[in-house]
């Protein structure tokens, strides 16, 4: 079973979108979360220490996104920051932070990506990752025989 769909987590953690709480999720996974002055990233995954270090002073949306991204690295078993791992952690965070229902509601109300990402409480980068993921799923589904 995929780590993103692990059934070993309590059901309360299966919430998606604005109801998803990455701080609660990190605690349930027994991940240590530290805040430190980092210069080159919003967060760092330290697999040897089972720790996510988040840049001090981030606002709510950036911290929430960075923590969900770091949890993605942990859940997906990443040990380095190669590009495919970064993309995978972004997709993991997008799946958890953006509910399809909330996304549908937000996009029916307006088409400005900045406004949509604000409403969904994610960064624009994460919204773009979600859009890319949904686009791939849509192309695969449309290619399947009916």
For residue 43, the cross-strand partners are 54
What's the pLDDT score for residue 145?
A: 57
Tens digit of each residue's pLDDT (9 = 90 or more) over 62-72: 999 999 999 99
- 51-58 long-range Cβ contacts below 8 angstroms, 24+ apart: 52/26
Tens digit of each residue's pLDDT (9 = 90 or more) over 10-56: 434 456 888 999 999 999 999 999 999 999 999 999 999 999 999 99
CB-side neighbour CA atoms (13 Å) of 145: 0
């Amino acid at each position: 079973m995929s780590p993103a769909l692990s059934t070993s987590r309590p059901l309360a953690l299966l919430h998606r979108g604005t109801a998803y709480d990455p701080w609660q999720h990190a605690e349930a996974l027994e991940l240590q979360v530290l805040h430190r002055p980092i210069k080159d990233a919003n967060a760092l995954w330290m697999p040897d220490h089972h720790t996510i270090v988040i840049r001090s002073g981030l606002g709510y949306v950036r911290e929430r996104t960075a923590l969900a991204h770091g949890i993605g690295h942990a859940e997906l078993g990443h040990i380095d920051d190669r590009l495919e791992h970064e993309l995978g952690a972004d997709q993991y965070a997008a799946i958890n932070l953006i509910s399809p229902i909330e996304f549908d509601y937000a996009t029916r109300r307006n088409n400005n990506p900045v406004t949509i990402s604000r409403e969904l409480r994610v960064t624009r980068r994460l919204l773009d990752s979600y859009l890319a993921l949904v686009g791939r799923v849509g192309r695969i589904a449309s290619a399947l025989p009916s």
